[in-house]
Each structure stands twice: as structure tokens, then as C-alpha cells.
Amino acid sequence: MKDLSNENVVHIKKEEVQYLQFRKLLEYKDTITHVYSIGTDVNFRTARANKEKLPKQDFSKAMQDYKKLCSAINVDYKNLVKTNQEHTDNIAIATKKINQNFPDINLDEYSRTDGIITQKENLVLSTTNADCILILFFDPVTKTIANIHSGWKGTLQRISIKTVKKMVKEFECKPEDIICCICPSIRKCHFEVDKDVKDLFEEEFRDLNISQNTDIMEKQKDKEKWNIDTVLINKIILSNVGLKEENIIDSGICSICNKDLIHSFRAEKQGYGLNTALISLL
């Protein structure tokens, strides 16, 4: 079986579940726990893209997969709190569980949100992806965590740095104390866009001069197509708001290059599944 472990992440394989953990966050295992699910046999989809309810059997499968993953890291799946993820730049603050005996999933309270911040112990913050970037944040000084979904639209809205700014404003975090970990996602090698999307990135990130930086954006030789490194964009803008370079940890894993182990919208197309990232204060 392929092993995705590298200098930044360790690939854990158990009888019923496999997942990644960031080596940096494992240094704080007495304070937090976290995980990124691995495997295309799991699917953490709890609602359709059009927000309609899933068939009962599909929802039940997602709940079973959540139970197994939560059990593997010794947290209670009933304490899950999940954003509804609609490609916004809205970030919620979770102060308590809403459902007492069931995960906080598909709730109106988290509609039009793509990130959650908390200082509340035992809440298990969840996001899902199939190519989009998921970022876990942890401030060990103030004991604040966050979990965000930053697809290309969220990246254009700079949701990652808006999360940092909200952590600073609401919880008195200092950017230089914050650790952020970037989960597996589509990478520049496969994130191909047309001119309309390319133009949006050029306009939004004028400050990065991305049209002149082939590390960030590169035109294909024979087509009117461009490849964009949204992970690198997030790294740069997070650094620009004060995060230390050594605290911006990238899994370095491409979802499409590893589509046998990680769900990918672009590879699977219709009927694509979802992986999840979880983080919780103990």
C-alpha cells in the first residue's frame, strides 16, 4: 500500500481507517488532536452540492465513516461541528454544541460559512474537500484552533488571512504564534484554468505580481490555459500577515496525483466523494 508520509506528515494505517497527521501538530498532542482522512472508500458527504438532503443510506455511510475516524483519534463524533461550505469567506465562532446527542452538521447556524474558530475544548471542527484547500490553524499560546475550506474562490477572497485576522481580533492571538497546516489538495501541476479565472487571480493578487511569477502562475505552451499554485498563494499571503515561515506547514500532497487515495472532483467528476480534516482541543 502506498505510504504518503513525508517530512511534514505521517500516514497512519489502522484496521478500519487510514489518515494523515502533521508532525508539527503532533508536538502538541496533549493539547490538540487532528486528522486528515485518507482513502476513496470513505465519503464524508453529508449534503448534496445543491444543499438538498442526501439519500438516507448515503448520510448513514458518512456518519459511520465519521465515527470510525473520530474513534481512531479518541474523540466523540457527536461533538463534530461542520461548516456548510459554500465557497464564501465567512468564518464562524463555535462556543458550544447545538445538537446535544448528534453532530452539528447541516445546521442553519453554519450556513454560508467556510471556516470555524473555537477555544472550546472537545468540539471537533470539520471541513471536507475533493481538491479544495483545507487549512488547520492552532495557536498554542491562547489555545485557539480553526479549520477552514479555501477552494479557488475562497483563496480569491483571502479566507485564510481573514481567519488569522479574526483569531487576532476575537481571541487576542498573535500571528507569529499561529501554526497553520495545509492539507492535501489540487496542486499547480493539475489546477488548470481558463482565461476568465486567470484574470480574476491577476486582478486580486496584483500585490503579488503573479503574472510575472511563474512559480505561482504559468501559461501552457500550446493552449490558452494557465496553471495556478493556490497553495503557494496562501503561503505567501499568510506570511505577509505575520505567520512565521516555519509555522506554515504544507503536506505537499496533490489530490489528483494521489487520486487512488484521495478524493478529487476533477478526477472523479460526477459522484465525487469527500475527505475530511478534523481538529479538536483536548
pLDDT 10s digits, 81-137 = 999 999 999 999 999 999 999 999 999 999 999 999 999 999 999 999 999 999 999
- The pLDDT value given to residue 53: 65
CA terminus-to-terminus distance, the chain: 32
Q: For residue 175, is pLDDT > 70? A: yes
Q: For residue 50, is pLDDT > 60? A: no
Average pLDDT score over the chain? 96
What pLDDT, in 10s, does the model give residues 183-226? 999 999 999 999 999 999 999 999 999 989 999 999 999 999 99
Q: Is the CATH code 3.60.140.10 the one for domain 9-187+244-281?
A: yes
DSSP codes of every residue in 4-55: ---SSEEEEE-SS-EEEEEHHHHTTTTTEEEEEEE-SS-----S-TTSPPPP
What pLDDT, in 10s, does the model give residues 127-153? 999 999 999 999 999 999 999 999 999
- The pLDDT value given to residue 54: 72
Q: Which residues pair with 138 in a beta bridge?
A: 145, 179
Distance of alpha carbon 247 from alpha carbon 241, whole angstroms: 13
Q: Nearest 5 degrees, angle CA 53-CA 59-CA 60?
A: 150
What pLDDT, in 10s, does the model give residues 239-276? 999 999 999 999 999 999 999 999 999 999 988 999 99
What element of type H or E holds 226?
A: strand 226-228
- Band (pLDDT 50/70/90 cuts) for residue 236 is very high
- The pLDDT value given to residue 48: 65
Nearest to 234 by CA among 175, 167, 162, 173: 162
Q: Which residues pair with 254 in a beta bridge?
A: 185
Q: For residue 232, is pLDDT > 80? A: yes
Nearest to 45 by CA among 106, 97, 89, 88: 106
Q: For residue 51, is pLDDT > 60? A: no
- Band (pLDDT 50/70/90 cuts) for residue 56 is confident
